[in-house]
Amino acid sequence: MSDNTSQANADRSAIGAATRRVDGRLKVTGAAKYAADHHLEGMAYAYGVFSTVASGRISKIDTDAARKLPGVIDIFHRGHFSNLYRVPKTKDSPTSKLDAAVVDEHRLPFEDDKVSHAGQFVALVVAETFEQARAAAYAVKVSYEAGTVIANLDQAVKAHGVKKAGSGHERGNAAEAFDQAALKVDATYGTPVETHNPMEMHATVASWKDGKLHVYESTQGVVVHRATLARVFGVTPDRVNVEAPFIGSGFGSKLWAWPHAIAASAAAREVGRPVQLVIPRMQMFTTTGHRPETRQHMRLATDAGGKLSSVRHESINTTSFIDQYTETCGGVTQGLYVCPNVLVSHSTTEVNHGTPTSMRAPGAAPGLFALESAIDEMALAANLDPLEFRKRNFAEMDESQKLPWSSNHLLEAYDRGAAKFGWDKRLPEVGSMREGSEVIGYGMAACNWEAFRTPADARVGLRADGTIEVTCGVQDIGTGTYTIVAQAVSAVTGVPLERIKVRLGDASFPAGPVSGGSWATASVLPAVAKATRDAIDQLKVIAAGADSPFAKAKPDTLKLEGGKLTDGKQSVDFGEVLKSQKVAAAEAEAHTDANTNDKLSFRSFGAHFVEVRWDAGISRLRVSRVVSAIDVGRIINSKTAANQVEGAVVMAIGMALFEATEYDERTGLPVNNNYAEYVVPVHADQPEIDVILLDYPDYGLNEFGARGIGEIGTTGLAAAVANAVYHATGKRVRQLPITLEKLM
């Protein structure tokens, strides 16, 4: 802990407080403008034409009828965007380089006549109004030479097997240890394709002026998006800007640019007018990513005392025919439990789907469904309470990296979660807990997520009007970033939140990371705090000028306390000091680096405890109660942090009970591509959710001790539900979602 830390700690009321969202009023009054809320002067509207077949090639596109419809300005398809450039694969990772160009789908819009999935963009209509563009899009006649459809993982494995992907792990000899073990579990788990369904649809508003491109995009990363567009259009990044001040979430689908963003900007360049393109909900099931289908073979073994002696986690996931995407299901399995013999491997197999991408807790969400279900089965095989089993196999260090944990309070999470939930009231026998017509099941699981810190830049200005302005090219995707940035500045300066103006979501601001991977908090707050301290140093130098209340003072003898500059004798509001010197602002821009500590393993931990109720008479399954105890380092805002876990639990209840994107085997089209048939939890599905935030600072990661909280709550929950369902019904559901027919 440095001196800086104690300064950042100065206002404890700000850090950790249950502060309300500073942007809340803008959102509830409709004043917050999202991407598609921008209607520019002379703007035209675009609508896509999407492939009705899942494989093969486009033989002809007939636009004659469509072009005659009212309001049509132009129609683009194969060959029309010839002056675009691909984003090359590089070693730059967004955790180490903020302005790396990244795409999920490397193919450029309309660059060839191949069809890799149903719902692929094959043409784009631009018209005077949205309705005219849509009508014309439906009038474009596309002919295909359709190939055979590979609609799911089973078909893909049968057709062409699997490809080994990287990111595996091996220690000891898991096969040998398994063969020699007394107690074993050998089971295969599966998770279906899940589709991100953020409330705000993907949208682009693109305009070109004097060779410069400006874009409003619903993106989780304005800086990466700008770098990507600059690459694609062959211009320098200073000729592109991307704004996303408000985002109705993304869950990973808005991390990197999809074809629509490129197509909209290309069309705007061609027609010489601003163009708005909104992706219809239906096409968000085909063109903006999804969590791929997984098949996970788990083999676990213990000694007679229930100590793990062998763990194997071998997963396959579907990917597209155009891009390789690996769902790293076994990532957490490498280190969550103490075990000398571990094998983790990942493979992929190609299907006629669009390219998959990260979806909230990629790898860990499906991976911990398999691992934490298998651990439950293993505990029962060893005749141990599942909680006791996990405690017995607690990993004192990260054995996969042979490193100590930076901070790990998993055992306390187990105990506090269990106490709050009343785990001790669990009767071990299946189906033994009843109330009226319902049978009650208790299940639990660990949750886990990595803790990264990326580089970040931020600018802070203490202004003569007594306000502080902060700018950073990070985004608030609904998680509370505006609020916690303001809290960090308040903590350093003692200035109340009302006088702190935070501006985010603009690629022209000092570079921030993508809002993904649970990276933003741990990465951005240190840069904001550093810029604030540097701005205060500027203020002190300015304060020592002639005619200042602090004339002739040595700058380093001055202090900013409660927003006032003081030399111990007098205190003057910083704005007054600046005014006395006729200086508009004391400003500084700061850069902080990625986490380079390779002597510790940085992860977040937690445990979910779940109660389910199964009413066999009417085949009703409900998740009735959830207690989640979460160890994510220091909590910056206890309200928004708890919101993140609650939201993650809701999303994971969807994963456990409802969500699956179903593909028609004949056409390869998702059949439930809408909010009516792709079922997500609604209010009536919500249990009581009780979030316990452990709040142990992890100062190895940053001066605030915060690790980030967006994803961890999504992990493990589906397994806890499945384990509770087994406890209630005796049915072990190994394929998500846990639909009613699986229990009847």
Active site (catalytic) residues: 711
Cβ–Cβ contacts within 10 Å for residue 491, how many? 26
| Contact mark string toward ligand MOS, 26..55, x via CB under 6 A | ------------------------------
516 binds ligand MOS (CB under 6 A): yes
When asked if residue 360 is in the footprint of ligand MOS (CB under 6 A), the reply is yes
Binding of ligand MOS by 652 (CB under 6 A): no
Q: Considering only the stretches 306-314, 357-365, 498-506, 632-640, report the one whose residues sit in contact with ligand MOS under the rule CB under 6 A.
A: 357-365
State the CB neighbour count (10 A cutoff) for residue 150. Answer: 25
For residues 203 and 365, which CB has a smaller minimum distance to ligand MOS in the complex?
A: 365
State both tokens at 546.
């002639």
Positive or negative, the Cα torsion across 620, 624, 629, 634? positive
The interface region with ligand MOS, picked from 107-115, 354-362, 423-431, 492-500 by CB under 6 A, is 354-362
Binding segment toward ligand MOS, per CB under 6 A, in 137-145, 231-239, 249-257, 329-337: 249-257
Cβ-based nearer residue to ligand MOS, 288 or 538: 288
The mark string for 459-498 relative to ligand MOS (x by CB under 6 A, - otherwise) is ----------------------------------------
Q: Which stretch binds ligand MOS (CB under 6 A): 248-256, 276-284, 460-468, 629-637?
A: 248-256
Kindly determine how many residues on this chain lie close enough to bind ligand MOS according to the rule CB under 6 A. 11
Following DSSP, what letter does each residue of 452-515 receive, concatenated?
Answer: ----EEEEEEEETTS-EEEEEB---SSSSHHHHHHHHHHHHH---GGGEEEEESBTTSSB---S
Comparing CB distances to ligand MOS, the nearer of 258 and 614 is 258
Residue number with CB closer to ligand MOS (453 or 530): 453
Nearest approach in angstroms of CB 270 to ligand MOS is 32
Identified binder of ligand MOS from the candidate list 178, 208, 251, 256, rule CB under 6 A: 251
User: Nearest to residue 550, comparing CAs of 524, 523, 529, 571?
Assistant: 571
Q: How far is the CB of 271 from ligand MOS (least distance, A)?
A: 32
Residue 202 or 463: the one with the smaller Cβ distance to ligand MOS is 202
Closest approach of Cβ 356 to ligand MOS, in Å? 11
How far apart CA 273 and CA 258 sit, in angstroms, is 21
Q: Near ligand MOS by CB under 6 A, which window of 120-128, 148-156, 247-255, 580-588?
A: 247-255
Q: Give the nearest distance from C-beta 514 to ligand MOS in angstroms.
A: 7
Neighbours of 551 (CB within 10 A): 12
SS (H, E, C) 601-666: ECEEEEEEEEEEEEECCCCEEEEEEEEEEEECECCCEHHHHHHHHHHHHHHHHHHHHCCCCCECCC
Which helix or strand (DSSP H or E) is residue 519 part of? none
Sheet of strand 56-62, all strands in order from the earlier edge strand to the far edge: 114-115, 56-62, 141-146
Tell me the per-residue interface mask from 362 to 391 with ligand MOS, x by CB under 6 A, - otherwise: x-----------------------------
Nearer Cβ to ligand MOS (640/729)? 640
Q: Cα(263)–Cα(215) distance, rounded to whole angstroms?
A: 12
- What gap in Å lies between CA 351 and CA 566, rounded to an integer? 66
Query: Using CB under 6 A, which residues numbered 87 to 126 contact ligand MOS?
Result: none
Query: Least CB distance from residue 130 to ligand MOS, whole Å?
Result: 28
Quickly list DSSP for 64-79. HHHHTSTTEEEEE-TT
State the Cα angle at 583 between 580 and 588, rounded to 5°: 130
The least distance separating ligand MOS from the CB of residue 362, rounded to whole angstroms, comes to 5
Number of CB atoms found within 10 A of residue 235's CB: 15
Nearest to 362 by CA among 397, 317, 320: 317
The owner of tokens 């380092």 is: 633
DSSP 306: S
Length of the chain in residues, anyone?
744
Residue 252 or 713: which CB sits closer to ligand MOS?
Answer: 252
Q: Beta-strand (E) ranges in 321-417?
A: 342-350
Pick the stretch among 12-20, 23-31, 222-230, 245-253 that binds ligand MOS (CB under 6 A): 245-253
Span from 235-243, 244-252, 375-383, 406-414 in contact with ligand MOS (CB under 6 A): 244-252
Helix (H, G, I), strand (E, B) or coil at 612: strand
Binding to ligand MOS (CB under 6 A) within 191-220 occurs at 220
Q: CA 94 → CA 453, 458, 480, distances in Å?
A: 11, 17, 21
Nearer residue to ligand MOS within complex by CB, 221 or 670: 221
Nearest approach, Cβ of 649 to ligand MOS (angstroms)? 16
Q: Does 517 bind ligand MOS (CB under 6 A)?
A: yes
Work out which of 115, 137, 300, 359 binds ligand MOS, going by CB under 6 A. Answer: 359
Closest approach of ligand MOS to the CB of residue 265, in Å: 23
Q: Does 289 bind ligand MOS (CB under 6 A)?
A: no
- CB 258 → ligand MOS: shortest distance, Å? 14
Q: How far apart are CA 352 and CA 333, in angstroms?
A: 29
Residues 313 and 367: their CA atoms lie apart, in Å, by 9
Q: Which residue bears the tokens 């791929």? A: 292
- Closest separation in Å from C-beta 255 to ligand MOS: 6
Where in 572-631 is the site for ligand MOS (CB under 6 A)?
A: none
Q: Which is nearer to ligand MOS, 393 or 479 (CB)?
A: 479
C-alpha 114: how far from its chain's center? 31
**What phi, psi does 703 have (nearest 5°)?**
-65, -20
CB of 34 to ligand MOS, least distance (A): 17
Site for ligand MOS in 254-273 (CB under 6 A): 255
Read off the amino acid at residue 365.
A
Among 56, 190, 248, 252, binds ligand MOS (CB under 6 A): 252
Given a contact cutoff of 8 angstroms between Cβ atoms, the answer to whether 249 and 221 are in contact is no
SS3 652: helix
Closest CB to ligand MOS among 251 and 369?
Answer: 251
Question: Reduced to 3 states, what is the DSSP secondary structure of residue 163?
Answer: strand
Residue 526 preceded by cis peptide, ω within 30: no
Give the shortest CB-433-to-ligand MOS separation in angstroms: 36
Tokens for 739, please give them.
């639909």
Residue with tokens 């360049």: 269
Residues contacting residue 573 through CB under 8 Å, at least 6 positions apart? 466, 563, 564, 565
Distance CA 219, CA 257 (A): 8
Judged by CB, which is closer to ligand MOS: 251, or 658? 251
Which of residues 514 and 725 has its CB atom nearest to ligand MOS in the complex? 514
Tokens found for residue 670: 């998702």
Between the alpha carbon of residue 580 and those of residues 640, 661, 672, the distances in Å are 39, 64, 65
Binding site for ligand MOS (CB under 6 A): 220, 250-252, 255, 358-360, 362, 516-517
